[in-house]
Chain A
Amino acid sequence: MKGLVSGAAAILLVSFALLFTNYQLEHKAGGAGKDTITVYNWGEYIDPDLLKQFEEREGIKVIYETFDSNEGMMGKIEQGGTSYDLSVPSEYAVQMMEDRELLIPLDFSKIPNIKNIDPYFMNLPFDTDNTYSIPYFWGTLGIAYNPSLLEGQTFESWESLWDASLRQKLILVDSAREVIGVALNSYGYSLNSTSLQQLKEATDKLETMGPNVKAVIGDEVTQLMINNEASVALTWSGQAADMISENEDIDYIVPEEGSNLWFDNIVIPKTAKNIEGAYKFINFMLEPEVAAQNAEYVGYSTPNKEALAFMDEETVTDERFYPNEEARENLEVYENLGLETLGVYNELFLKFKMGLR
């Protein structure tokens, strides 16, 4: 009995000692004020140094929390019980959050730095007039490949993915619109096609790609490519940038027929408690130097036009990640197709996956 009681006491003592150190750490990190904002962002999607800069400059402590999927993030915000002041959903998620009335309209008079954003990235179909969102990072969907593991294949066209020489080599991303989009693009159809005829043609064509498909997976593809365990993958430019930074053999290309243009966007969810602080943070992140530093850290493409001047010349002239205006012509942003059509996409994709091997 004595042993049990002293054991319990020891555990309590250790816990409280840890709680105390935690408290100390938090306060040391937090700067002065009682003012705080809670930022809810993807993991590893901001330069932590910028959080410190912001805290020092504005005297607002940043509580930073991360999520791993749009759906998980929306669930947390919709369910309540949290007080996130800022979040960073992808473009389709912005639309969904808007439909569910989870967002607060932005007051541009409090975000003067909005002028730094390239007009090309404003007023996009998922949020016309940018009522609720400001682009944070953007990118494309394309093909990451490793020439050292291939026999000279190139990927200027989506058609090349059907080439017989890629048998059992291709890795697809586990997402309906992206994969069906490849076939739609190869026919020159819109990525937002709602025509059942076009979708059927696309999936019929996809099925003939079957023998080439090695796997349909998620984020694990980055590690596979880096470790030279895979040679060709359909992937987003952001992930491709991660791959290239770890393994210089890898290259990335957006086929000529066109592709998807994606965005992650800053929004203020309705759970926000410190809206003024959130505006200050958005404005801070849109400063050219800050946006440049952040883009260098994260490695994704920034929509901040003024920031490009502060970045590595080599990075911003890399047409793989900052395509010129001509190449941008063929890029298309996903529109919300409604539950019914999305259901069709998902069903067709599921059928395609079931038919593999």
Chain B
Amino acid sequence: MGKLSNLPKIYLAVVFLILYTPIFYLIYYSFNSGGGMSNFESFTLEHYQAVFQDTRLLIIVMNTVIIALLSALLSTTIGVIGALAIYFMRNKSMRQTILSLNNILIVSPDVIIGASFLILFTLIGVKLGFASVLISHIAFSIPIVVIMVLPKLQEMSTTLVDAALDLGASRKDVLTRVVLPYIKPGIFAGFFLALTYSLDDFAVTFFVTGNGFSTLSVEIYSMARTGITLTINALSGLIFVITMVLVLGYYMIGSRKVDQGVKR
């Protein structure tokens, strides 16, 4: 019996090893004084220094984060409203149509979305830059949020809403005290998914950046011809550590809340 229960653990360990090895390989070489991703010469922190001296790179990193946060926030807001509208729609065929239109946007390739945004923006005279990137990121994130929130709504028993109304709740109360708290996990899931989609999007962003505004993925990709420097390794290392701290922090806050709940 003991052996049998070890197998899943080993499997899990192997999977995680495969997933994390490339990242650690990258970080390992960020400490290489040898300039390349081979022949580890000696330990150095100069690449980390280079990250903080390269203001342009820092600005690009911050642009990426700002775009991700704002686009995730706005698309979550719009997406939740959209999901509610679809859920409460009376006309069934209309609901199906809108849902299909939403799904088409998820399936359609980023390249096409990016190219059509580029054409649209230049047609109506929007200057490529912060605004164009933000708008397109919001646009491609909305369908994802809708798809994350809608199942939560459908799983909610309709009697909950009826009961609230019977007990004298106003429509606003039903929304803010019954529906939204119920679908909160879906909203968070949608937000974080939109956040990650925005952070690592290359295809759409590639088309709509311009006038000196760029995000990290586009910037790194353009280094391909002359070679990616170890500064990028160092930056990846820093981002990895920051994400790890954020996830751990979130986990600790989460578990503390649960503890308090139990005590009460």
Contacts and interface: CB of A to CB of B under 8 A. Distances in A.
A22 B222 contact: no
A15 interface: yes
Interface in B12-64: 35-38, 54-56, 58-59, 62-63
Interface stretch (A75-83, A107-115, A145-153, A304-312): A75-83
A42 B56 contact: no
B251 to A, nearest CB: 17
B53 to A, nearest CB: 9
Interface string B220-231: 011111110100
Interface in A213-272: 218-219, 222-223, 226-228, 238-239, 242, 245-247
A329 interface: no
A68 interface: yes
A25 B211 contact: no
Nearest to B209: A65
Interface string A22-63: 100110110000000010001111001000000000000001
B224 A68 contact: yes
B122 interface: yes
Q: Contact residue range for chain A? A: 35 or more
B210 interface: yes
Q: Which 10 pairs of residues, A with B, have the shortest CB-CB distance? A: A63-B212, A43-B222, A43-B223, A66-B222, A44-B226, A82-B210, A246-B36, A68-B222, A81-B122, A81-B128
A79 B122 contact: yes
A247 B69 CA distance: 41
B196 to A, nearest CB: 15
Classify the interface of chain A: helix, strand, loop or mixed: helix
Interface residues of B, number: 49
Contacts of A350: none
A3 B227 contact: no
Contacts of B38: 226-228, 246-247
B59 A298 contact: no
A42 B211 contact: no
Given A18-B65, A227-B38, A247-B38, A68 B210 contact: no
Given A12-B73, A38-B211, A242-B226, A48 B56 contact: yes
Contact of A11 (B63, B69, B119): B69
A18 B211 contact: no
B127 A219 contact: no
Contacts of B140: none
Contacts of B72: 11
A25 B55 contact: yes
Contacts of B229: 44
Contacts of A121: none
Given A3-B184, A43-B219, A79-B122, A65 B55 contact: no
Contacts of B187: 4
Contacts of B213: 65
A355 interface: no
B118 interface: yes
Nearest to A66: B222
17 contacts: A1-B176, A4-B187, A8-B73, A11-B72, A12-B73, A22-B59, A22-B63, A29-B56, A29-B59, A43-B224, A44-B226, A63-B212, A66-B214, A67-B222, A68-B221, A79-B119, A228-B38
A246 B230 CA distance: 12
Contacts of B209: 65
B152 to A, nearest CB: 14
Contacts of A19: 66
B56 A79 contact: no
Contact of A83 (B211, B214, B225): B211
A165 interface: no
B197 interface: no
B55 A42 contact: no
A277 B105 CA distance: 43
A212 B127 CA distance: 50
B225 to A, nearest CB: 5
A256 to B, nearest CB: 28
Contacts of A247: 36, 38
A168 interface: no
A64 B221 CA distance: 15
Contacts of A226: 36-38
Contacts of B171: none
A64 B165 CA distance: 59
B181 interface: yes
A66 B57 CA distance: 12
A14 interface: yes
A219 B56 CA distance: 24
Contact of A44 (B58, B62, B69, B227): B227
Nearest to B77: A8
A222 B227 contact: yes
Contacts of A11: 69-70, 72-73
Contact of A4 (B125, B177, B184): B184
Interface string B182-216: 00100100000000000000000010011111100
A25 B65 contact: no
B126 interface: yes
Contact of A81 (B55, B121, B206, B221): B121
A22 B73 contact: no
A154 interface: no
